[in-house]
Amino acid sequence: MILLCNTKYFYIYNMESKQNYYDDLKTIKKIMEESSRFLSLSGLSGIFAGLTALIGGAVAYIVFLKNNFLDNGEFFRNLSVRELNTLKLQLFSDALIVLILAIGISLYFSYRKSVRHGLKIWTPVSKRLLTSLIVPLLTGGILIIIIYVKGQWQLIIPSMLIFYGLALVNACKFTYNELFYMGLIEICTGLAAAVFPEYGILFWCFGFGILHICYGLFMYRKYEG
Amino acid sequence: MKIAISSLNKLFENRVRLGIMSVLMVNDTFDFNSLKEALGVTDGNLASHLKALEENNLIKVNKQFIGRKPNTSYSVTPDGARSFRLHLKALEEIIKSQ
């Protein structure tokens, strides 16, 4: 009888400690994830940044380029130097506004998600994430200015897409892994845009608009839905 | 089962110490305040557990100044990484065994 009780006791004790070990492992996994990855990035950021890009692209194509692709030599030949300069300025401001809005939107939704999930937003990881994003993005930005000054405009859109893709590939280890694949697709889109520079604006809308929306929807359904 | 339990490290049985090691295993360095926020513990509590880990040569302390503010950051030693991996493996084996 005593033996029986002992075995039973031992068995219960064993089960309890097993549960403890299991909880330990779960805690370890959670802490490792939260301390090494920035998980406040929201799918909603992707969706709304993508929509902003699509609207910006549509404005550029319909309002500024008057439904012309960049392969329409006639349209550009008929522009005076002054009109051409205005057009460049319009396209530049359009892209800049999209960029600022997209960054603002991402920050807003990240902040919202971090508050909702009780996560800290300014951590060693988010600093590392920013550094890994900024190096390729700044390099790309400077290169684009050089390309612009040198007049190789057909390379501006491919450079935007390629350097953005490189930034995502570089940064994915500090946030969701899925960003890696999106980075690769951005790079391919950029390379394709370099092959067909006349349709640059379509590749731009695909890379910054449609891809972001698809990514955002996917991530929102997977992690936040 | 016996082997697994014997390779569990007593030092890692405490949740705070387990947390510290988990953070440092996946980050090259981590500073005191960020560690405090990540684990949700008080200054004194964290400091005492850090001390214990340091005394056992499982983590090392890097003190430096950022501007005028002292900044203490921690990283895991090769020894610490090895014992933590052993501890993890032991935990997994115990759970797998029926």
List pLDDT tens digits, range B43-86. 999 999 999 999 999 999 999 888 888 889 999 999 999 999 99
Domain ranges of chain B: 2-96
Give contacts of A124 with chain B, Cβ < 8 Å: 27, 29-31, 34
Among B23, B31, B94, the residue with its CB nearest the CB of A31 is B23
Q: Indicate the burial class of A7 (C-beta count within 10 angstroms; 0-12, 13-18, 19 or more).
A: exposed
Asked if B72 has any chain A CB less than 8 Å from its own CB, the reply is: no
CB A101 within 8 Å of CB A52: yes
Mean pLDDT of chain B: 88
Give contacts of A36 with chain B, Cβ < 8 Å: 26-27
Q: Could you tell me the two tokens for A60?
A: 């550029």
pLDDT band at B4 (very low <50, low <70, confident <90, very high): low
Residues of A with CB under 8 A from a CB of B: 18, 21-22, 24-25, 27-28, 31-32, 34-36, 120, 123-125
pLDDT band at A53 (very low <50, low <70, confident <90, very high): very high
3-state secondary structure (DSSP) of residue B28:
coil
Domain ranges of chain A: 40-224
Q: Is pTM, for the whole model, over 0.90?
A: no
Q: What's the average model confidence in pLDDT over A170-185?
A: 94
φ, ψ dihedrals at B63, nearest 5°: -100, 130
Strand B69-76 versus strand B59-66 pairing type: antiparallel
Give contacts of A34 with chain B, Cβ < 8 Å: 38
Specify the pLDDT at position A175. Answer: 92
Q: Which has more confidence, B3 or B24? A: B24
Q: Which has more confidence, B32 or B67? A: B32
Fold of B2-96: Arc Repressor Mutant, subunit A (1.10.10)
Distance CA A197, CA A190 (A): 10
List pLDDT tens digits, range A103-160. 999 999 999 998 988 888 888 889 999 999 999 999 999 999 999 899 888 899 999 9
Q: Could you tell me the two tokens for B73?
A: 């950051």
Give contacts of A35 with chain B, Cβ < 8 Å: 22-23, 26-27, 30, 38
Burial A121-159 (b: 16+ CB within 10 A, else e): eebbbbebbeebbeebbeebeebbeebeeeeeeebbbbb
3-state secondary structure (DSSP) of residue B67:
coil
Does B30 contact A21 at a Cβ distance shorter than 8 Å? no
Does A25 contact B31 at a Cβ distance shorter than 8 Å? no
Distance, in angstroms, between A40 CA and closest chain B CA? 14
Distance CA A82, CA A69 (A): 20
Q: What's the average model confidence in pLDDT over A52-56?
A: 96
User: H-helix or E-strand containing B6?
Assistant: helix B2-6
- Best mutation target, B21, B39, B75, B94, to test chain A (most A CBs within 10 A): B94
Strand B30-31 versus strand B69-76 pairing type: antiparallel
List pLDDT tens digits, range A60-83. 999 888 888 776 677 877 888 898
Q: Which has more confidence, B88 or B10? A: B88
- Give A199's DSSP letter: G
Q: Indicate the burial class of A23 (C-beta count within 10 angstroms; 0-12, 13-18, 19 or more).
A: exposed
Distance CA A213, CA A87 (A): 28
Specify the pLDDT at position B65. Answer: 85
ipTM: 0.81
Q: Inform me whether the pLDDT recorded for A194 exceeds 90.
A: yes
C-beta pairs of A22-26 under 8 Å, 24+ apart in sequence: A22/B95, A24/B15, A24/B18, A24/B91, A25/B88, A25/B91, A25/B92, A25/B95
List pLDDT tens digits, range A7-29. 545 555 566 677 888 888 888 98
Burial A52-78 (b: 16+ CB within 10 A, else e): bbbbbbebbbeebbeeeebeeeeeeee
